[in-house]
Amino acid sequence: MEKLQKPQIICHQQQTLDYAVHDVKWMPCSSKFVAVGGKSNGSGIVQIYSLTGEGIEKKSEFGKKEHFKCCTFDASSLRNRHLATGDFCGRLQVWDLEDTLVPVYKSTVHKAVINAIDGVSGNNSGCGAPEIATASRDGSVLVWDVRQKDMPVAKFVAAEESSTRDCWSVAFGDSYNNDERVLAAGYDNGDIKIFDLKNMKVRWSKCVKNGVVGLQFDRKSIPMNKLVATTLESKIYCFDVRTHHPKKGFAYVTEKSHDSTVWSVKHLPQNREVFMTTGGSGSLCLWKYNYPLKRVEKDSDGLSYGVAGEMNLIQNCTLTEQPITSFDWCVDKIGLAVCSSFDQSIRVLITTKLHLY
Amino acid sequence: MSLAEDISKLADAPDVDRRTDRKKTLLQKYRIPIQHFEYDYIEKCKDARELENILHVLRSGEEGHYPDLIRFTEERLNVINPKSKLLRACCTVLEKSSLQKDEVEELTSDLQYWLTNISKKDQELDNRKCRSIHSDAEVRTFKESREPKKDSKERRIKSTDYSAWDKYDPDTELLKMELSEKKGIEEAKKEEKPKKKVSFNRFATEAEATFFSEREREKGNEFFKSGDYEEALQCYNDSIAAKANVFNINNRAAVNLKLKRYNDVLSDCETVLKLDKENLKAQLRKAEALENMERYDEALRTVEHIIEGDPNNRRAQETAQRLREKCPNFGRKTRMKIIEIE
Cβ of residue B144 closer than 8 Å to a chain A Cβ = yes
Phi, psi of B251 (to 5 degrees): -65, -35
Dump pLDDT digits (tens) for A234-260.
899 999 998 888 888 899 999 888 888
Q: So what's the pLDDT on residue A230?
A: 93
- Which pLDDT does position A226 carry in this prediction? 92
Last residue of a domain, one of B55, B72, B87: B87
CATH number at residue B213: 1.25.40.10
Structural domain containing residue A96: 2-356
Q: What is the pLDDT of residue B103?
A: 83
- Contact between A24 and A326 under an 8 Å Cβ cutoff? The reply is yes
Q: How many domains does chain A have?
A: 1
End position of a domain, from candidates B71, B87, B103: B87
| CATH assignment of the domain containing A181 | 2.130.10.10
Which pLDDT score is estimated for A296? 87
Residue A137 near residue A166, CB atoms below 8 Å: yes
In a domain, B163, yes or no: no
Instruction: Please state the φ and ψ torsions of residue B284, each to the nearest 5 degrees.
Output: -60, -45
pLDDT at residue B20, as a whole number: 47
Residues near B212 by beta carbon (within 8 Å), at least 6 away in sequence: A123, A124, A125, B203, B238, B239, B242, B243
Q: How far is CA A141 from CA A165, A194, B144, in A?
A: 11, 11, 10
- Among B60, B87, B114, give the residue marking a domain's end: B87
C-alpha to C-alpha distances, A276 to A216, A310, B205, nearest whole angstrom: 11, 15, 32
Structural domain contains residue B151: no
Which pLDDT belongs to residue B54?
82
Q: Are A108 and A123 in contact (CB under 8 A)?
A: no
Residue B67 in domain = yes
pLDDT tens string B100-144: 888 888 888 888 898 888 888 888 888 887 777 666 677 777 767
How far is the C-alpha of B9 from the C-alpha of B30, rounded, in Å?
13
Instruction: Note down pLDDT in tens along chain B; length 342 residues.
Output: 455 555 555 555 544 444 445 567 777 777 777 778 878 888 888 788 888 888 888 888 777 788 888 888 888 888 877 777 777 777 777 777 777 888 888 888 888 898 888 888 888 888 887 777 666 677 777 767 666 554 444 566 777 778 777 777 778 878 888 887 777 677 666 655 555 555 555 677 888 888 888 889 999 999 998 888 998 998 999 888 888 888 889 899 899 888 888 888 888 888 888 888 888 888 888 888 888 888 888 888 888 888 887 778 787 788 888 877 777 665 555 556 677 776
Neighbours of B311 (CB within 10 A): 9
Whole-angstrom distance, CA of residue A175 vs CA of residue A170 = 15
Residue B22 belongs to domain spanning: 3-87
Strands (E), chain B: 91-92, 94-95, 143-146
User: Rounded CA gap, A191 and A37, in Å?
Assistant: 27
Number of domains in chain B: 2
**Which A residues 81-140 touch B at CB under 8 Å?**
81, 96, 98, 104, 121, 123-126, 128-131
Interface of A with B in 176-235 (CB under 8 A): 176-180, 195, 197, 200-202, 219, 221-223
Contact of A309 with A253, CB cutoff 8 Å: yes
Burial class (CB in 10 A: 0-12, 13-18, 19+), B327: middle
Consecutive H or E run containing B60: helix B48-60
Residue A344 distance to chain B (closest CA, Å): 18
SS3 A354: helix
Q: Which residues of chain A have pLDDT under 50?
A: 1-2
Chain A environment of B197 (Cβ under 8 Å): 126, 177-178
Distance CA(B232)–CA(B257), nearest Å, equals 12
